Amino acid sequence: MAEPTWLLGSCWRCDGDDLPVMWIGDVQNRDLGHVPFYACEPCMQRLEDLMRAHFSLAHEAG
């Protein structure tokens, strides 16, 4: 797996500006179409924590 590419920009989760951010995928809206979603490292960590919690709960239920 390739190393993540960080660039200077705005985090779409915490609204921080001029931060190292990483593209994590596209989000879409019925009216606006697809746009790139960027997050800073602390927000990436929080999203990964939420993903782990989701999969942990799914595993316990299944």
* Token pair listed for 47: 């999203």
What integer is the mean pLDDT of 30-34?
93
Confidence bin at 56 (pLDDT 50/70/90): confident
For residue 62, what pLDDT is reported? 62
Nearest C-alpha neighbor of 25 from the set 9, 12, 14, 8: 12
How many H helices and E strands in the chain?
1, 3
Specify whether the CB–CB gap between 27 and 55 falls below 8 A: no
Q: Is the pLDDT of residue 3 over 90?
A: no
Q: How many Å apart are CA 24 and CA 9, to the nearest integer?
A: 13
Q: Which residue has the higher pLDDT, 36 or 60?
A: 36
* Token pair listed for 40: 């800073």
